[in-house]
Amino acid sequence: MAKLVLIRHGQSLWNLHNLFTGWVDVPLSAQGVQEAIAAGRRLAEEKFDIIYTSTLIRAITTAMIVMSENKEGKVPVIQKANAEKPNDWFKIYSPATEANTIPVFSAWELNERMYGELQGMNKEETAKKFGDAQVKIWRRSYDVPPPNGEALKNTAERTIPWFQENIEPKLKEGKNILVAAHGNSLRAIIMYLEKLSEAQVLELELKTGEPIVFTASGGTITRAGA
């Protein structure tokens, strides 16, 4: 039986200031760091074979902090693709050292929903400007995007196929996987895994820094304890 752990990044500085963040690459707040540490302690006994993150620093940092608390002792190593230097610049030449690492892959498909022209705007000020009803539609409808941004539907259309292609096969191989990403990309994955309707996924709330554990066996992925 394999395990899949999904974790939304810890609180970011723009979460703290109530700003729409989307693809803007901002770091964790002090509280977010503490949330990631707490998550790492909860997951300290887990053994991971592969780690996936979005390309955004708040998700990558969360994954690294989580693994700093892990008791297995393996070192997460971020894999470099299309880097400025040749791949052999990142090569590990000790087989023993390489065996003690966990590969970390970043994928833009796991990035947060892109909020378009709302990115960087204060949520309360946006409601005053456009009206509570309109902002609620942008935030909570399934298929109505904000100006020049993505709806949850658009996020799901990139995230779910990527999950099917990259993570499901690894789970079938028995690999234990950690995914550190964002509220909306993870909501899309959970919608797929738990066969939620469009209405149900809109009610799904994911707390920052809180791990959600699934088990995978015989091609079936179920939430632990469900």
- Is 109 in the active site? no
**Catalytic: 112?**
yes
What 8-state DSSP symbol labels residue 9?
P
Check 9, 46, 150, 182 and give the catalytic one: 9
State the distance between the two ends of the chain, measured CA to CA, in whole angstroms: 16
- Taking the CA atoms of residue 76, residue 82, residue 88 and residue 89 in that order, the dihedral angle to the nearest 10 degrees is -70
Question: Which residue among the candidates 35, 109, 112, 150 is catalytic per the annotation?
Answer: 112
- The runs of H, that is alpha helices, within the chain are 13-16, 30-42, 57-68, 95-99, 123-130, 132-140, 152-166, 168-172, 183-193, 198-202
Give the whole-angstrom CA distance, residue 213 versus residue 226: 10
**Would you please indicate which residues are annotated as catalytic (active-site) residues?**
9, 112
